[in-house]
Structure 1
């Protein structure tokens, strides 16, 4: 009997605690739909996860040890460079094996990717669950092997597949499979199924990691910077299935379940049903928490009343405010009632035990520094637990790419395609906002510093001014472009606050009072691994006034 054809699905995660839902969805679907062929010993599917921080040779050795005939990589803007590196080694080490790639970073421009990455034999465009089944069927249809010789024949039977018609030459052409379609979410097995997922889905490999869950696919909104803007419709997984699968994740003691639904509450009644189920089924001592990206505009009094019953720390919400400038919102085709968003955020913060994360995007079309300043202040006064100031990415395949070209944007040609200059901000503006973003993350997003920041931020006319001045201080003291311990940042905040207190513009009106105030807060958050107060002041040469 011949050896089975072995297909390896490979993920490059940002860190060990992350997991990849794409390869799992393809794996469980293939093992379910091709069970007969697998049981006959003709096919085998495996999955492997590495991280982008693993050494290249370690990643290559681990994947080569799988001895797969076909390697399929899941590519995003933050991991495609590492994928190309390891794919080159795998292909050159054994030219007979096939190396393919899918995911949003390559599927919108497959021809471009095949031109610049010769060790990719093919690209899979669109949703992968149907493709992996058809690929397995194509490999077996006519005992096609070695596959490289028959790649054009395989491509013609696999939807969304693209390969070269010839090796590299001046007249390089491409061959396309049938158009890909949309998957029925109810036809996909449970992402975390133990039997269908094999080794990668065993509990020992999921402990203390973030697990992703998809209850819907697509988005009814059309924000021009988002890949979901090119999709149509919203597909929903059956609610009874969702309930039973979430129940299993809780029983398996998952640490954090992050819903990948683009706008979780796009169907408000459905969202309320899921929240109600999770609240009602909660048991004291339960470790599992749930993270949702929601649209504040769609939140109603009934939703807020329900969420007020949630146990502490059960839910985390992320809300993409992006900007509060009405003209910019219209340009990016984002529906948002700023007053309603503020009411919802205030209600969640004051009435619900929910960790709240708000996002802003710098570099949006038409948003200058004054506008960004107002958006920042608007979000800051809502007092979420976390504020993320991100930077616009001009993603391939989105309407934003066309708008950016028309308006004369400059952005990076390589991932993550981040804006360098917009139609309303030059590079110096972007640089200054990057400095502010670092200060914001170092200070505001550290819970223990909330009471420390309050009096010093209040001494400014607006929050943005403090972060702007503190960023300038950080540049002056060389904090931004080298590795800096958290305690060194705290030391500079202490010194900065002392100077502010000495100026008489702070309610803590003397350097000594500020020193003692900071000492009290620092010691209150003392924990294992952090410098003691005496060690802190000694290491950073802080003198008591």
Structure 2
């Protein structure tokens, strides 16, 4: 640590496990100012005063030039960062505060956080931040508060991967990128503002990845919007990781390799499939944004997607590869009804991806989705994350109802804790004695929505439900509401509960649990501690 630094780069990450790629780009490209620059990360859970106190310890008063603090501002940390800035400026108004990041790159004049700051860099900040710091330190002082970031050629940038520390490699998720930008124009995404996608020189990029690997990195999360856009590049990158898989007899968790990509669902040619099929289980995770299967909605938001190809590719990935599939759907898109969303959910569920992440539309600042506000009755929350509250197609009560559905789906389905029980919950109801059998399979969406409504009415909770309480609630619902025989429901729940490793005593499983040895302390590998990658990238 330099003592004292003239410049501090900081942000508030969603969780400790996240390491800011953006800040490391800025640090790597500080040039002659790098020896005078420190990087310090916090989490949004830290009290604002504690963050301010630590920052002030880093930048004690300097005799001549005020110190500079640069904040990375995102949709998930803008409220907390605003609170930090209020306290920081009250304590040390002489400190020059520079803001950057997607949350302050649009609608800049409308935000309290930008009024508190001295300068705001919009857009690309890789080189513009250092340039502004030089002007503040040495002159001439900039005349404008809001400064448009300059987009350099990618080969002009110093790559940031050497800035990941040994502690980062051991304990945190490493974000990397082989390209920037996106050629697609989905209006809910900031990438809709990009003109195209730009790729880093592949040999240079792979050399950096090799450096990380040699230093001990074993988890890589690619932030590229379209990893499989250019198949030659995709195959080369996959081959790089395939060549570094541990030997079949390796047992150390430190040798486990985990790589996450975001892929375009309808672009999976045979050459790429052949490469994917060579990876064993537990190495590849693909994030697949379906968002909506409704063709009218897709066209309305400028989303190009061949649904038939996307469906066929997902089916192949599930049946013929070992990749873990994390798929996404968005509720509340303009003109999407509950019924059409349910049809899309059922279509996706039928493919059996490992996770279906359910999100509610957010109005990111600067995105073209706002052009539909009046025509489609879009009403958004005024506060981050600017979630849609109602539309012309779904009222506010339905949006709230879906929000509960999504939280319960995470608990039961995406958690993987109820693999045996979930098919019962979503399957055909067993006929009661003397009742005619049903002839049609129910909608999985409707089946889970019915359960979600019942669970909310029964508990009034969407958080704080223990594994034991969930087992008991599921047993009651399956037997009393869905008509499953008690032994069938209990057998599925018992298998799931034992497999989960939980060690309580659910009422529904009284007398059924096997004798268990005392728990042994263990540390989960990093790849098992990542959760579902719900937090945004920074």
- The aligned runs of 1:275-314 (5 Å cut-off) are 275-284=238-247, 285=250, 286-314=255-283
Who is 2:39 aligned against?
A: 47
Confirm or deny that 1:58 pairs with 2:54. no
TM-score computed with the length of structure 2 as normaliser: 0.86
- Hey, what does 1:73 align to over in structure 2? 71
TM-score normalised by L of structure 1: 0.85
Distance in structure 2 (CA, Å) of the matches to 1:256 and 1:226: 26
Deviations, residues 283-312 of structure 1 (Å, cap 9, x unaligned): 234323111111011211211111000122
- Offset of residue 391 of structure 1: 0.5
Equivalent in the alignment of 1:517:
492
Query: Residue 486 of structure 1 aligns with which residue?
Result: 467
- Report the CA distance between 1:356 and its aligned residue: 0.4
Corresponding position of 2:528 = none
Does the 8 A contact of 1:268 with 1:298 survive in 2? no
Q: Is the 8 A contact 2:128 2:150 kept in 1?
A: no
CA contact (8 A) 1:289 1:315 kept: yes
C-alpha contact 1:7 1:45 (8 A) present in aligned 2: yes
In structure 2, what is the equivalent of residue 531 of structure 1? 503
Distance 1:242 1:117 in 2: 35
1:432 matched residue in structure 2: 401
Distance 1:536 1:91, change over 3 A: same
3-state SS of 1:46 partner: strand
Q: 1:23 — aligned with what?
A: 23
Report the structure, 1 or 2, having the larger helix content.
1
Partner of 1:377: 346
Determine if contact 2:246/2:256 at 8 Å carries over to the other structure: no
Deviation string 1:244-298 (CA, Å, 9 cap, x unpaired) is: 1222222333353111111112222211221122112322343231111110112
Match of 1:109 in 2: 107
Name the structure 1 match of 2:121: 124
Please say if residues 219 and 263 of structure 1, whose CA atoms lie closer than 8 Å, have aligned partners that are also in contact: yes
Question: C-alpha distance in 1, partners of 2:384/2:407?
Answer: 20
**SS of the residue 1:377 aligns to:** helix
Q: 1:462 is matched with which residue?
A: 443
Query: Would the alpha carbon gap of residues 311 and 517 (structure 1) be closer, same or farther in structure 2, given more than 3 Å must change?
Result: closer
Q: How far apart, in 2, do the equivalents of 1:86 and 1:242 lie?
A: 36
430-439 vs 201-210, which deviates more? 201-210
Provide closer, same or farther for how the CA distance between residues 486 and 191 of structure 1 changes in structure 2, counting only shifts above 3 A: farther
Residue 445 of structure 2: SS of its match in structure 1? helix
**C-alpha deviations, 1:451-475, integer Å up to 9, x for none?**
2212332215110121111101111
- Equivalent residue in structure 1 for 2:480, among 499, 505, 515: 499
Q: Which has the higher contact order (CA 8 A, sep 6+)?
A: 2
Gaps of at least 5 residues in structure 1 are: 143-152, 157-161, 164-175
Contact 1:12 1:50 in 2 (8 A): yes
Shift of 1:180: 3.2
Gaps of 5+ in 2: 61-66, 429-440, 513-538
Give the CA deviation at 1:56.
2.2
Deviation at 1:526, TM superposition (A): 4.5
Aligned to 2:63: none
Equivalent pairs, count: 486
- After TM superposition, give the deviation of residue 479 of structure 1 in Å: 4.6
